[in-house]
């Protein structure tokens, strides 16, 4: 009886391990997700740089019209 229980438990652990492995993401899917994440982050980085550049240009243009010694807005 004890040997049967041991075999059943061993088989159950093996089957559960196999199911968990097969239900996970494949290396190809993980790689594709990494590529998508990288592209998204690059797009966000470019947008932030563009926004910062526009803010810098706006501040620079505001300062060009001021006489020397006057405070900027």
The pLDDT score that the predictor gives to residue 19 is 82
Helix residue ranges, H only, 1-73: 2-23, 27-64
Domain boundaries, the chain: 27-61
Q: Is residue 69 over pLDDT 80?
A: no
What is the pTM for the complete model shown?
A: 0.50
Rounded-to-integer distance, Cα 64 and Cα 69, Å: 12
- 32-66 tens-digit pLDDT: 999 999 999 999 999 999 999 998 888 777 776 55
């Amino acid at each position: 009886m004890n040997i049967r229980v041991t075999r059943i438990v061993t088989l159950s652990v093996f089957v559960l391990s196999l199911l968990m492995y097969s239900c996970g993401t494949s290396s190809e899917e993980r790689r594709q997700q990494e590529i998508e994440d990288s592209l998204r982050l690059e797009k966000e980085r470019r947008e932030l740089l563009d926004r910062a550049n526009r803010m810098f240009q706006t501040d620079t243009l505001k300062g060009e019209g001021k006489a020397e010694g006057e405070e900027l807005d």
